[in-house]
């Protein structure tokens, strides 16, 4: 099964920042973040942290929320869930999180439960905002010195579904793939599920080890038997 995520997105100092920002925005806010594979934690090398943050916030501030075809994302599923997300952000700020953008309900003339795209920083990796699957348009930025710290932070989660790393170094990408324990890894793209022909699923709280789609999913629907002929 697939059972949720708290997916990390790593930005190395040698990353193409324009591409990384575009992937991070789409990964974080498509479907208002109401996706198991949504980007939740953006982990950025300190040498490019400020530049990435500036570009990221510029793109986030240009997002349109609504139900038109031209809008970037729509409503939260219920008002109860919307109020819960707003409350979680408010409580996180009271504990020291810095709200860089959003965090509030959007009151629109049309009926619906809309929330601003929300970006936070200065959140402890053990804070509820860092550990809980919020399932909304909320993402947290973290600063790290190197890949070792990035991997340690990425692995500090009970959810292990999807992740992404942006780097021009095959060596760094392979090291991340080897040491970050998750069901799906994407290099230089957004956190996502998988194409229909590719196995998809997570470990830890994100799943029990079975894989959806792809040939591997056939195992889920089969009972294996051992048969012997003695002649």
Contact status, residue 146 vs residue 157, Cβ threshold 8 Å: no
222 is catalytic: no
2 is known as an active-site residue: yes
Contacts of 207 by beta carbon, 8 Å cutoff, 6+ apart: 1, 2, 3, 161, 183, 201
Catalytic residue among 13, 36, 133, 212: 36
Q: 193: closest CA among 2, 24, 9?
A: 2
Residue from 2, 13, 133, 212 carrying the catalytic annotation = 2
Going by their DSSP bridges, the two strands 138-144 and 39-45 should be labelled as parallel
SS3 155: helix
With a CB cutoff of 8 Å and minimum separation 6, the contacts of 168 are 14, 15, 16
Q: Whose CA is closest to 163, among 129, 133, 186, 136?
A: 186
**Closest by CA position to 110, among listed 171, 167, 170, 67:** 67
What is the set of active-site residues? 2, 36
């Amino acid at each position: 099964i697939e059972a949720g995520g708290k997916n990390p997105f790593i930005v190395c100092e040698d990353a193409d920042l324009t591409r990384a920002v575009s992937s991070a925005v789409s990964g974080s806010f498509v479907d208002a973040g109401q996706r198991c594979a949504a980007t939740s934690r953006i982990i950025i090398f300190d040498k490019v942290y400020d530049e990435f943050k500036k570009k990221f916030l510029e793109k986030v501030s240009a997002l349109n929320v609504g139900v038109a075809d031209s809008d970037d994302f729509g409503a939260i599923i219920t008002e109860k869930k919307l109020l819960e997300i707003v409350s979680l952000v408010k409580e996180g700020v009271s504990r020291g999180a810095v709200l860089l953008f959003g965090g509030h309900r959007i009151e629109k003339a049309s009926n619906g439960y809309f929330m601003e795209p929300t970006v936070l920083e200065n959140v402890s990796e053990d804070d509820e905002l860092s550990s809980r699957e919020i399932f909304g348009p909320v993402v947290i930025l973290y600063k790290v010195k190197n890949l070792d710290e990035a991997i340690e932070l990425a692995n500090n989660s009970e959810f292990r579904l999807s992740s992404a790393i942006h780097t021009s170094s095959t060596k760094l990408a392979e090291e991340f793939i080897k040491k970050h324990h998750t069901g799906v890894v994407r290099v230089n793209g957004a956190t996502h599920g998988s194409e229909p022909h590719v196995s998809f699923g997570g470990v830890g709280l994100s799943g029990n080890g079975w894989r959806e789609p792809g040939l591997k999913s056939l195992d889920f629907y089969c009972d294996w038997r051992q048969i012997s002929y003695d002649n």
